[in-house]
Amino acid sequence: MAPRTTTAAASEAPAKKTKAKGGGGKKLTAYNRYMKVQLAKLKEDEPDMTHAERFKLATGSWKNAPENPKKSS
């Protein structure tokens, strides 16, 4: 077999796509919005607490949170 020869077009890497800046991503669910806010509040109030501890507190309070659309009344 003869050795392959590469053409200039084949050896060039394809242009990298750049991400568009701005919105357009997935919308956050009520749970995700709640957790984002609660984790930020807990981090500010309790800076020495680990992330796992903050997460456990936030998830525990989600069940009775007014933001929870499936809240059992």
Residue 67 confidence (pLDDT): 92
Rounded CA gap, 55 and 35, in Å?
8
Positive or negative: CA dihedral 28, 31, 34, 35? negative
pTM across the whole model: 0.61
pLDDT tens-place string over residues 10-65: 567 777 777 666 666 889 999 999 999 999 999 999 999 999 999 999 999 999 99
What are φ and ψ of residue 36, in 5° steps? -60, -45
Residue 39: which of 25, 53, 26, 29 has the closest Cα? 53
